[in-house]
Each structure stands twice: as structure tokens, then as C-alpha cells.
Amino acid sequence: MSLSPHIPVLPEEVIQLLSQTESSSPKWFLDGTAGEGGHSRLILERFPDCHLILVDRDAVMLERAKANLPLERQVFPYNLNFSDIDREVLDAIGCPGLDGILVDLGVSLFHFLHSGRGFTFKQEEPLDMRLEPRLGVKTAADIVNTSSVLDLKKIFWDYGEERWALKIANNIIEVRRKKKFETNLDLAELVKGSIPRKLWPKEAHPATKVFQALRIEVNAELEHAEKGIRSLSSLLNPGGVIACISFHSLEDRIVKWTFRDLKDQDDFSILTKKPILPTDEEIRSNRASRSAKLRGLKRILPIESIG
């Protein structure tokens, strides 16, 4: 499959944050969610002498990122969840510590358009939603077809903030007694029929929140987000920076409070009092950026190294 054009969100703002690292050269950067490799390419361009650790939990996405980067450079690809990166991984490639980290918590447009795993509403696909399909975790269909009504309601409310969560959950139970849910469109049509037509969102599919909730549940995204931010931050060199991009309130809340908690440990300072948002110009040229929020955290230099 040929690579489609990819525009990384908040490109200048990300580089500006990562440029605040005060570690010595050659610098070590880690892109914890490689995606199409857009941000990684910017890092390599801005820091031509750096080493880059390229990470993605989806093997397909990792290959797409590698194809978009000059691999003659010092690039070290890993098919892992960013929350699994530890000191042992760094030691294996001779990395003394990280000077800059980027974690983009969004799901790539590729998953919605081309993965065939049921993230989309545009064409019929299996109701899967796994970002790591090689692993034996439950699919979205497994969850929809086996969970209790209260569990489904909790998933849709907690992870999608869907006000019609209970009605949708009840309707799922009724339908699956006759026929199990197999495809994305099976579920999308049920959600559409569960929400009064006059209350459908104007700029999104009525099932958007339910699909978001299922994707988060299937992939344990919020758990990995907090675990990953904490563990990666501990691998920063003094003066190093971690930048996190989130795309909905649940993610941003985790980034915000995890950063605050790390700051309270006196080893870190918050670089962004408020999240950095895309400009109107960026939103016009890249609709995928419209809900993006960027936050940054820096590991404090030891007192004796200041001045």
C-alpha cells in the first residue's frame, strides 16, 4: 500500500518545546507513537546529529514510519507500546538517557481509513479496533457481545462521555440475543437508532463517542498513557523535555495531572501553564488538528550545573 500524505499536528510547537532541552549533544530523542513518522522527520531535520528511538505498538504503523524516514541516520525502531520502554531497552542500544520525548496519544488517520479493523464508519469492516492485532486481547466485538449492560454503560460513559450510554447498552443487549455484532456498521447503525435524530451531533457521526470508548477499552489507552508518561519521564536526562499531544478531554486530563504530580516531586517543571492549541490556520489546513492539545514537562537541571 502506498504511503498517503501525512501532516503532523502542531509541528512547529512540538519542535519548539523539544528545543528547550538543555542536555549536551549528541542528543537522544524518542518518538513514542511513531504513526506515519511525521514528527520524527521534523526532529531529525531540526537536530541533524541526534539519535532517534522510533516506537509504535502497531507493527504496520512502525513500517510506515520507517518508510517515511532516512534510515541511514541513527534511528532505532521498536515494535513496542511506549509504556514498555525501560532502562533495559536504552542500555541495549547504548543510550545513556533521553533528552527529548514525544508522545502523540492520537490514533493515526491510517487506522480510520485503511487498517480494516473497524475504526471507521465509511465502509464495512470487522469490529476489531485492536492497535496490536497480533496480541490475543479482546476485540471490540468480543466486548459488545459478552459484556453486561452495566459494563457497557460504564465503558460508553467513562471513555466516551456518551449521555445515551444506558439506552445504547440496553439496545445492544436486545439485538445480540438474536444476532451477534460482527462489523463496525452493525454497531454504528444501532447507535444511530438509539439517539433521537434531532440530537445527533452536527459535525460528527452519532456513534463517534461509542467507537472512541470501545477503542480506549480494547487498547487500554488511558492506562498506558499514564504509565508511559511516568516511566518515560524517569528516563529523561537532567534538562530533558517530554511533550505530549492529546485529542480528547480524558487524555488531556491524564497528561495534565500526571505532569502536576511529577512536578510535585521537585524533579520537574511544567513548561506549559495551559495547553498549546493549533492556530486557526492549522485547523483550516489540517482538520485532524482541531482538538489537539500539547503540554510539555522538563526535568530540572541539578543546582550545581546551573550557571
CA dihedral 129, 131, 132, 138 (to 10 degrees): -30
Distance CA 135, CA 220 (A): 13
The three-state DSSP-derived secondary structure of 131-149 is CCCCCCCCCHHHHHHHCCH
- Mark the binding-site residues, compressed into ranges: 37-39, 56, 82, 104, 111
The half-sphere exposure of 136 on its side-chain side, counting CA atoms within 13 A, is 0
* DSSP labels, 54-67: EE-SSHHHHHHHHH
Distance CA 160, CA 165 (A): 9
Which class does domain 11-110+221-305 fall in? alpha beta
Backbone φ and ψ for 81, nearest 5 degrees, come out as -75, 140
At 73 the pLDDT is 72
Distance CA 161, CA 129 (A): 19
pTM of the predicted model as reported, rounded to 2 decimal places: 0.91
At 306 the pLDDT is 47
- Mark the binding-site residues for S-adenosyl-L-methionine, compressed into ranges: 37-39, 56, 82, 104, 111
CATH homologous superfamily for the domain 117-219: Putative methyltransferase TM0872, insert domain (1.10.150.170)
Domain boundaries, the chain: 11-110+221-305, 117-219
At 92 the pLDDT is 97
Backbone φ and ψ for 291, nearest 5 degrees, come out as -105, 10
Distance CA 52, CA 233 (A): 16
Residues of the chain under the 70 pLDDT cut: 1-6, 71, 136, 303-307
Cross-strand pairs, 174: none
What would the pLDDT profile of 187-227 be if each residue is shown by its tens digit?
Answer: 999 999 999 999 999 888 999 999 999 999 999 999 999 99
